[in-house]
Amino acid sequence: MNYINIALPKGRLGDKAVELLEAIGIDCDEIKNSSRKLIFTDEKNMIRFFLVKPSDVPTYVEYGAADIGIAGRDTLLEEGRNLYEILNLRYGNCKMVLAGPAELKDKFDKLTSKRVATKYPRIAREYFEHRRKESVEIIKLNGSVELAPLVGLSELIVDLVESGRTLKENNLVIYDVIEDISARLVVNRASMKMKSEKIRWIIDELRKNIDLQVNA
């Protein structure tokens, strides 16, 4: 049977994705009612879902295990996978920023060497190489990136910022906005051709629903 396979991210992005899918008539009851299963189905619409780690969504889509995926723009930029980024879902909004100590903001351009701590080494490297034309040392961290400048691990950080409260509490400020981030719908390149009709229906219905919410 020719199911449409959708990879959903675990956590808040996935919870909101379920709401969007339900709003266009896709049955997500199995996802909401089971915490142990790995694969869920809407037999009526011939759609199968699986929940994966957010950073793995682009991999499932690129390799065709999933026809469609929902992932943050930050994940897509960092993973750099070969897929179609089709639709801005307009939730999960935040910013990828360059930040550092408030007292360094007017002087950091004069630093002869810069160390940048981040969970997003690819994004940070491309930003400095292509936009700032600089060579910097990238230090990969897996959490608490804001700590790095406070303990001398780095001068700068590249990280996601939602409210900016954590930066402010640690006397850090935004130096530059690298990218606006939100949840995006992505599609496998081969699936877009082979399962075009069903995938386009999902895209069109989601787009209509999002436009209604924005214009409400």
| 43-82: pLDDT as tens digits | 999 999 999 999 999 999 999 999 999 999 999 999 999 9
> Does one domain contain both 50 and 98?
no
What per-residue confidence (pLDDT) applies to 196?
A: 95
> Are 86 and 57 found together in one domain?
yes
Give the count of beta carbons closer than 10 Å to the beta carbon of residue 176. Answer: 13
Give the pLDDT means over successive 10-residue stretches in the chain (216 positions). Answer: 92 94 93 82 94 96 98 96 96 97 89 94 97 95 96 97 92 96 98 96 95 79
Q: Check whether residue 59 and residue 21 sit in a common domain.
A: yes
pLDDT score at 216: 67
- Write the single-letter amino acid at 116: V
DSSP annotation of 3: P
How many distinct structural domains can be found in the chain? 2
In a shared domain, residues 174 and 188: no
64 shares its domain with 102? no
Mean pLDDT for the chain?
A: 94
**Residue 103: CATH number of its domain:** 3.40.190.10
Claim to verify: residue 112 and residue 66 sit in the same structural domain: no
Residues 9 and 84 in one domain: yes
Q: Are 92 and 185 in contact (CB under 8 A)?
A: no
**pLDDT of res. 1:** 61
Domain that holds residue 163: 94-180
Say whether both 86 and 112 belong to one domain. Answer: no
**In this structure, are residues 98 and 127 in contact, taking their beta carbons and an 8 Å threshold?**
yes
Are both 59 and 157 inside the same structural domain?
A: no
Give the pTM: 0.91
Environment class of residue 91 by beta-carbon count within 10 Å: exposed (0-12), middle (13-18) or buried (19+)?
middle
**Would you say 123 and 202 are in contact if contact means Cβ atoms under 8 Å apart?**
no
Q: Are residues 83 and 186 in the same domain?
A: yes
* Residue 18 and residue 81 in one domain: yes
Tell me the sheet residues that pair with 180. Answer: 95
Residues 70 and 106 in one domain: no
Per-residue pLDDT tens over the stretch 101-110: 999 998 888 8
**Strand pairing report for 47-52 and 156-161:** unpaired
